Amino acid sequence: MTKSIIATISSEHMSKPKLSVAMIVLSIFFCKNLLADSQCTSTNTALKSKSSNLEKQIESITFLIEKSGFPQLPLELVFQVDVTDSEQVKRRLLEVRKLTTVDSVQNTRDYEALLRCSSEAKEQSEIAEYARRVAYLNILKVKFFEFPEDKQKVLVENYISQRSLSNDRATVQKEVQKTEAALTEAQSKLSQSSETFGDSDGASKDEDLAVAKTTLQQYLADYATEHLEFLKLIEEKKVSLDKIKAEVGALIQREQSDNANVAELLPPSNLNWEQTVDFISDLFKGLNVGTQIDLPEPLEPQNKFSDEDAKDYSTYIKAYAEAKRARLDQTQKRTEIVNDLRFQAFQVLTEAGQLRSRLFLNCDRTSKCDGHRSLNAKNLADFAREIEIVPIKVQAGGVSKVLEFKGKLSAGVDGWIDLFQQVVALFILLAIPLILLRTLNWFNVKLDSTRKSILSRSMMDFRKRTSIALWISRINPFIPASGMAIGIWTARQLIETT
């Protein structure tokens, strides 16, 4: 009896570990399935996000290569590499070439993870379409990477400029919508103020206060109307600049083709340059950033105000302070918008001028162009534009550098390092003429001293020392010119490499 009881107890104790192990195994299996389900849920969500981002990349690179579509994303996000660095481009090209077929994309871990979570035929079809689009994107990347470096540089500069123009236009459109809403509100309040002023039982019993409130609302309505007209003018100018930019980009692509005809390209490129010069000249001379609407003087507080009028006066003062602050903000915003437009116009002018210069040089070499150097009214007008644009280029270059400086400051450590390198290069450029001047003067004095020493105290033969002295006298005048030529070459190399 005792043995049977002991056996029963021991069997119960033996079964408990088995039960615990089974529970642990079931728990692990359940948690694993739960984790897999959550991963698949997040993967399905990620597929939608990846597909959306993929289409933006395809549209961006299509615009970069073929000028169709819209520059959606920065090129660093499209290529996952700095496209201006040739070494990074070469490495990335080797990686992307391996993923230009659907089969190669389907062998990647990302695709296998997506496929593992797909249970329905529709999901599998979407994943397969995603693989085809990835392969197509990689084909476009390879196509761009295989372009010559000069063509890549032109395409990248054009893309960045067009994307900046598009972003600026979007900013202006938002400002237009905001100003239209402010104008509607100001007109509504002006109407209410007029009705209140005409009503003897209105909220404000003080006539001066009622007039001040109405005058302020009238100012807000007039200022909003003027600001709206200014923004619409800027929008029109951005559209015009966008058109010129597109034409210049198309001409640059034609210039780089194998069957480029210089004689056909020169007239439209010269026309684009003329349009850009006139455009940027108007931006700096004809576009007024200030406003013609004066802010009325505020009404001074008066002792005769009733309690109700005192409350109205307090509201009026707050509205006046808000109007004053908004005026300052919008003046600053106007300046920023115009400076951004000037910066974009300066970039277009640089591209159009470089294209025109290259075509003129090719015409001079090949002698296939007629009248591009002849003395006629058109060429004289272009010469006048060349003179007119010189001071504007200095101003535009200053605006460009200020905006570039702000962009570098906000770009983090990389931007700061680049700024430091540019500042060092600038100091070296400024120091080159001074260093050369002192060095060449010292060298001239030393040579002249050597010549005199040879003639007066040398133990050499008279004829030989006279010959050496003559050679020194002949060489000495050319040393400053030779030194300056070396300095110019050094400065040019420094500018091109930085």
Per-residue model confidence as pLDDT tens digits over 88-126: 878 888 888 888 888 887 787 777 777 666 666 666 777
Q: Which residues of the chain have pLDDT under 70?
A: 1-47, 67-70, 72, 115-123, 164-173, 175-176, 183, 186-187, 189-206, 286, 303-305, 372, 397, 399-415, 455, 457-460, 495-498
What does the DSSP 8-state code read for residue 266?
H
Question: CA 146, 147, 149, 152 torsion: positive or negative?
Answer: negative
Tell me how far apart the alpha carbons of residues 266 and 358 are, in angstroms, rounded to a whole number: 9
Is residue 111 a contact partner of residue 69, using CB atoms and an 8 Å limit?
no
Residue with tokens 């920023």: 336
Give the other-Cβ count within 10 Å of 88's Cβ: 14
Start-end of H helices in 109-148? 109-116, 121-145
Tell me how far apart the alpha carbons of residues 212 and 195 are, in angstroms, rounded to a whole number: 14
The reported pLDDT for the residue numbered 8 is: 45
User: Exposure string (b/e) for 28-53, b if CB count within 10 Å is 16 or more?
Assistant: eeeeeeeeeeeebeebbeebeebbee
Closest by CA position to 70, among listed 194, 159, 168: 159
Name the token pair of 270.
């010269």
Question: CA 114, 119, 124, 125 torsion: positive or negative?
Answer: negative
Per-residue pLDDT of 373-385, as tens digits, reads 777 788 888 888 8
Is residue 146 a contact partner of residue 244, using CB atoms and an 8 Å limit?
no
The reported pLDDT for the residue numbered 346 is: 84
The reported pLDDT for the residue numbered 196 is: 56
The reported pLDDT for the residue numbered 466 is: 77
The reported pLDDT for the residue numbered 192 is: 66
Tell me how far apart the alpha carbons of residues 291 and 475 are, in angstroms, rounded to a whole number: 64
| Residue 104 CB contacts under 8 Å (≥ 6 apart), including other chains | 98, 135
The pTM of the whole model exceeds 0.85: no
Tell me how far apart the alpha carbons of residues 36 and 23 are, in angstroms, rounded to a whole number: 20
Give the other-Cβ count within 10 Å of 161's Cβ: 22
Is residue 256 a contact partner of residue 150, using CB atoms and an 8 Å limit?
yes
The reported pLDDT for the residue numbered 11 is: 46
Name the token pair of 352.
């159009």
Q: What are phi and psi of 278, to 5 degrees?
A: -65, -40
- What mean pLDDT is reported for the chain? 75
The reported pLDDT for the residue numbered 15 is: 44
The reported pLDDT for the residue numbered 454 is: 74
